Every structure is written in structure tokens, then in C-alpha cells.
Amino acid sequence: METGRANKTEMEIYFMIFEKRRRQQIREDLEAVVKNVFEKQNQKQTTLQAKQEAHFDESMEKSQKMIRRLSDTVEDVLDTYQEENEALCQVQKQIEDIKRQEQKLLGLIGLYQEHIELVEEWIAEHMPAGSEGAQEAWRQQHQILKEKLATEGRFCMIDSIGMPGEVVDYRLHEVIEAIDADKEEQGGKVAKIFRQGMIYQGNVIKKARVQAYKKG
């Protein structure tokens, strides 16, 4: 009986040793598996990180190329804008120069018109008596000159203002003198022109200076 008990104890010892070794082996196997899994995971992580870095580098390179292209485009646009702005400034300067020359030309035409009117007045007031024929010849030549000036002026969009008998319009006429009307229908109309006015392209450059009949 004691022998059987001894055998049982010995078997238990063997079993315990075997079980310990089996657990140790299982532990080692598990550690190996876990280590292998971690190594593979690390490899995947390293590979993924390398791919991400490569993709990031590629994206950065593409972005830098795009930025350079955009920068070049912006510079081209700015250069074009500067050139167009300089051209526009030049055009504006030319327009201003033309306007100044235009105003000088209109002033010269107005002065020429006044001289013609002064000549007409001088003919009427200073021609000697008995020279009606010469006076009429002067008037005819003067009238031809006035008509020529008016015709050329219309080609340049210049019109004269002021005719006896027309209704007074304060946008066009500057009434220097008002006189009583002999007839009722004369009231508010131009009686005499002292100096003709001028319209250029629809704008009044100079009002006509007139004598007008008073309204009844």
C-alpha cells in the first residue's frame, strides 16, 4: 500500500513537472507569437509611415510646383495690369491734352467770330456817306464769310447762338438790355444781337449777348 502511494506521489510529481514545462512552453510560444505579431505590426507601421512620408513629400512637391505656377501667373497678371494701367494713363493724358487743345481752339473760333461781328459793326457805322455801293459790297463779302464760318463750324459740331426774333432762352441768351415792344407779339423775343453765342457738341460754350423786348 505504501508502494502504491509512493508511485502515485511520484506520478503527481512527474505530472506537475510536465504541466510546468507545458505551461512554460505555452508561455514561450505565446510570447513568440506576440513578438512576431508586434514585429509584423511594426513592419506594417514602418512601411505605412514610409508610404505616407513618400506621399507627403510627393504632395508637397506638387503643391510647391503649383505655388510656383500660380506665382508666375500672378506676376504675369500684375505685369499685364501695370502695362494696361500705364497705357490707360497715357490715353487719359492724351485725352486731357486734346480737351485743352479743344478749349483753346474754341476760344480762338469765338474770338474770330467776335472780330467778324466788330467788322460788321464798323462797316455799318464808319463807311462814309454816299458809299452805299461799297458798303453793300462789304456786307456781301462779310455775309459770305459768316456763312462759310457757320458751314465749317457745323462740320465740327459748332453752332452759333442768337438770331433776332427768336424767343429768349436764358440757357442760350444773356440779356444785356431790355426794351419796350412795339407790338404785343414781340414780347419776350430777341430784338438785337450784340455778340453771338456758341454751342459745341450740344453744350453751351458761350451765351449770346442780346437786346430783348420786354414782355407785356
pLDDT, tens only, 45-94:
777 777 777 777 777 788 788 888 887 888 888 888 888 888 888 888 88
Q: Is residue 203 part of a domain?
A: yes
Grid coordinates in use for 186? Answer: 414781340
CB count within 10 Å of CB 190 equals 22
- pTM confidence score: 0.47
**CA–CA–CA angle 206, 212, 216 (5° rounding):** 140
Whether pLDDT at 6 is above 60? no
Q: Is 207 helix (H, G, I), strand (E, B) or coil?
A: coil
Q: Is residue 86 part of a domain?
A: no
Q: Is residue 89 part of a domain?
A: no
Q: Write out 65-122 in H/E/C secondary structure.
A: HHHHHHHHHHHHHHHHHHHHHHHHHHHHHHHHHHHHHHHHHHHHHHHHHHHHHHHHHH
Q: Is residue 202 part of a domain?
A: yes
Q: Is residue 172 part of a domain?
A: yes
Is the Cα torsion angle 67, 72, 78, 81 positive or negative in sign? Answer: negative
- In the chain, which ranges are continuous DSSP H helix? 2-126, 132-155
Taking the CA atoms of residue 115, residue 141, residue 109 and residue 196 in that order, the dihedral angle to the nearest 10 degrees is 70
Q: Which domain holds residue 176?
A: 158-216
Q: What is the CATH number of the domain that holds 176?
A: 2.30.22.10
Q: Is residue 162 part of a domain?
A: yes
Q: How far is CA 206 from CA 58, 115, 174, 181, in A?
A: 75, 15, 9, 26
Total tally of structural domains belonging to the chain: 1
- Provide the CA 91 distance to its chain's centre, in angstroms: 13
Q: Is residue 197 part of a domain?
A: yes
Query: How high is the mean pLDDT of the chain?
Result: 79
pLDDT, tens only, 97-117:
888 888 887 777 777 777 777
From the list 113, 111, 110, 137, the residue with the least C-alpha distance to 123 is 137
